[in-house]
């Protein structure tokens, strides 16, 4: 997930809206990569989303790969998040997706259901791809229904980013195990003493709500659908809207006006929940110092956190499964690749790359330390594989929660609308 992660998450709305419109893929025979040349050289197509900096880094890693494997050439294609999934959907529907591509957990079941993804276990068995030396069990993220549908390139987990100067002036110290009541009391104290909203808008973040549900013995998704009730969501959104009215949450209109800049970096809020590897953006956007704080808890112990990941998946239609597997293996294990990519896509997933890359800047050091602290705290649990249609559900959650925050929709109406849209997406 990229260095501008909040923007990626918010623009999922457009991509997911498009995905709902296309609920079936054509059952056509595919092309995959180009045919092999007369000298035995083959070409594979590799696509990803992200900012320009990610593209520069990936192109450097491709040059290393082609040097090691001179008989494999790599054609590249990159887009921003929305354009990537719109294009990918069109390619997949036409039976010609890229041979290898960047992926995330929200899309695994969706495209496996449509026969697009290659089960990479056969390539592991053939010795073309190693699943050894992954950190903290992150390799399990790409396993769904007994298949290996993606190989992680990095790991991340939800975090709370704070404006350290504001928290210090308010006399607040966030510690592992603090509760939601303590967090909200801190936001109120920040508003009263520092004259700034304490949070930029937590209640519209699907992945944070998932953690809250997990703390309470539920989850946002089950393998088949939603893992919570209308009453659960009514309570969550009502509580959030009341805190907006109380002034401890940044005015949603202000948040919209500031986009794509974060309200936290703009000084219009003192904390923001996001994926830990997204936090490098705040230092570049803002004038304060920013740190990573623990996720609040219900019981003073469990945060509900898990490791998520960007990963590399392969097309079931590729003509070159061996070469694709060798490419993925190189990209997740080669130490020089790790040095080049750094934490652009999360904390490096394999020990070879994690040990090879030593961050020198404070934000990336903080990210590595945060994941280490979370792992040592023993709060990480297994991720729940998302059902097909999860991307559309996430988009609906973000959009409808935004309408609630802006006062455009009553909570009761918003909850009914969300469940209606979610049920339609998950049934597609």
Q: How far is CA 364 from CA 29, 115, 371, in A?
A: 44, 38, 11
**Given this model, what pLDDT does residue 329 score?**
98
Helices assigned H by DSSP within 270-389:
280-285, 321-333, 335-341, 351-356, 362-376
**Given this model, what pLDDT does residue 83 score?**
92
How is residue 420 written in tokens?
């209606």
Residue 322 CA to residue 16 CA, distance in Å, equals 32
Q: Which residues contact 426 (CB under 8 A, 6 or more apart)?
A: 224, 225, 226, 387, 388, 389, 390, 393
In the block, tokens 């020990």 appear at 351
Q: How far is CA 77 from CA 245, 325, 400, in A?
A: 45, 19, 32
Instruction: Give all domains of the chain, ordered by start, each with its CATH number.
Output: 5-153+309-357 (3.40.190.10), 158-305+385-427 (3.40.190.10)
In the block, tokens 């939601």 appear at 180
**Given this model, what pLDDT does residue 384 score?**
81
Q: Which helix (H) or strand (E) holds 173?
A: none
**Given this model, what pLDDT does residue 37 score?**
61
CA atoms within a 13 Å half-sphere pointing along the CA-CB vector of 127:
0
**Given this model, what pLDDT does residue 36 score?**
61
Asked if 197 and 268 count as a contact pair (C-beta separation under 8 A), the reply is yes
Q: Could you state, in chain order, the average pLDDT of each consecutive group of 10 residues for the chain (428 residues)?
A: 42 40 34 60 96 92 98 96 93 96 93 96 98 89 94 95 97 96 97 97 96 96 92 97 95 92 95 89 90 96 93 98 98 98 92 94 88 90 87 94 94 98 93
**Given this model, what pLDDT does residue 281 score?**
83
Asked if 116 and 109 count as a contact pair (C-beta separation under 8 A), the reply is no
Residue 295 CA to residue 44 CA, distance in Å, equals 41
In the block, tokens 């903080």 appear at 366
3 state SS of 271:
strand
**Given this model, what pLDDT does residue 136 score?**
76
Q: How far apart are the first and last CA of the chain?
A: 26
How is residue 94 written in tokens?
């036409």
**Given this model, what pLDDT does residue 383 score?**
85
How is residue 342 written in tokens?
């750094």
Residue 293 CA to residue 295 CA, distance in Å, equals 7
DSSP state of 36: P
Asked if 257 and 265 count as a contact pair (C-beta separation under 8 A), the reply is no
Asked if 316 and 115 count as a contact pair (C-beta separation under 8 A), the reply is yes
Asked if 393 and 426 count as a contact pair (C-beta separation under 8 A), the reply is yes
Residue 201: exposure state from Cβ atoms within 10 A (0-12, 13-18, ≥19): buried
């Amino acid at each position: 997930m990229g260095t501008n992660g909040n923007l990626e998450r918010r623009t999922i709305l457009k991509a997911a809206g498009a995905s709902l419109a296309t609920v079936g893929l054509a059952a056509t025979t595919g092309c995959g990569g180009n045919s092999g040349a007369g000298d035995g050289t083959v070409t594979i197509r590799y696509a990803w989303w992200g900012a320009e900096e990610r593209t520069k880094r990936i192109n450097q890693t491709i040059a290393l790969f082609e040097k090691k494997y001179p008989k494999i050439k790599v054609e590249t294609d990159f887009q921003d998040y929305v354009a990537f999934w719109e294009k990918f959907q069109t390619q997949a529907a036409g039976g010609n997706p890229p041979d290898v591509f960047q992926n995330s957990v929200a899309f695994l079941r969706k495209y496996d259901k449509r026969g697009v993804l290659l089960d990479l276990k056969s390539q592991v068995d053939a010795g073309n791809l190693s699943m050894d030396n992954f950190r903290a069990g992150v390799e399990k993220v790409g396993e769904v229904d007994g298949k290996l549908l993606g190989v992680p390139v990095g790991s991340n987990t939800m975090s709370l980013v704070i404006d350290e100067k504001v928290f210090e002036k308010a006399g607040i110290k966030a510690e592992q195990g603090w509760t939601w009541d303590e967090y909200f009391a801190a936001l109120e104290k920040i508003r009263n003493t520092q004259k700034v909203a304490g949070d930029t808008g937590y209640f519209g973040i699907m992945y944070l709500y998932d953690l809250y549900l997990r703390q309470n013995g539920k989850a946002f998704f089950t393998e088949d659908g939603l893992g919570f009730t209308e009453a659960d969501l009514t309570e969550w959104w009502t509580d959030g809207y009341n805190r907006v009215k109380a002034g401890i949450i940044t005015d949603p209109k202000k948040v919209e006006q500031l986009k794509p800049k974060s309200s936290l970096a703009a000084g219009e809020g003192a904390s923001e929940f996001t994926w830990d590897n997204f936090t490098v953006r705040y230092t570049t956007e803002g004038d304060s110092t920013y740190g990573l704080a623990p996720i609040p808890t219900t019981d003073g112990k469990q945060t509900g956190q898990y490791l998520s990941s960007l990963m590399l998946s392969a097309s079931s239609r590729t003509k070159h499964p061996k070469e694709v597997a060798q490419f993925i293996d190189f990209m997740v294990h080669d130490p020089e690749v790790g040095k080049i990519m750094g934490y652009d896509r999360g904390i490096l997933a394999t020990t070879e790359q994690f040990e090879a890359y030593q961050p020198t800047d404070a934000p990336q050091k903080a990210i590595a330390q945060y994941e280490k602290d979370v792992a040592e705290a023993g709060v990480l649990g297994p991720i729940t594989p998302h059902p097909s249609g999860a991307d559309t559900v996430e988009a609906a959650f973000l959009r409808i929660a935004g309408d609630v925050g802006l006062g455009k929709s009553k909570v009761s109406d918003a909850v009914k609308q969300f469940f209606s849209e979610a049920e339609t997406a998950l049934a597609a």
